Amino acid sequence: MKYQAKYQDVDPGTYIHLRVSSGLSPKTLEAAKIGLNNSICSVVILDVSNNDQPVGMGRIIGDGACHCQVVDICVLPAHQKQGLGKLIMQYLKDFIDESLPPSCYISLIADGDAYRLYELYGFKEVWPASRGMAFSKAVK
């Protein structure tokens, strides 16, 4: 299989599919539409051997200058363990280095062992200086 990474938006249906199929939490169609329209940067991995089907993605969200967050890093299970997560992160890191101000605080939440991937791109644990916290509104 051959892959291509691109700075490209994904449609809401593809976004939901990639998230859920990769083990991330589901999002409503309404939320996906709004969220995707407010992305600062989106990276998509396309399977060029299969009509450019999206098989992975990652995004940067935030205000674009003071605070940003890396989110939605995911790769479909059949395409994992091929360096695609690293490819997504390299594209996002290149965008961070080239497009965001030096004082921009870029954060992320790492699930499980994913922190090992993010460490490769300069991310460090913030504990004990800071404690990551979250609030998730229940889907009805």
HEC profile for 69-129?
EEEEEEECHHHCCCCHHHHHHHHHHHHHHHHCCCCCEEEECCCHHHHHHHHCCCCCCCCCC
β partners of residue 5: 45
pTM score: 0.94
Q: Are 19 and 53 in contact (CB under 8 A)?
A: no
Classify residue 100: in a domain, yes or no. Answer: yes
**Domain span at residue 65?**
3-119
Q: How many domains does the chain have?
A: 1
Look up the CATH number of the domain holding residue 96: 3.40.630.30
For the chain (length 140 residues), average pLDDT per consecutive 10? Answer: 93 98 96 97 97 97 97 97 97 98 96 93 93 79
Q: How many residues does the chain have?
A: 140
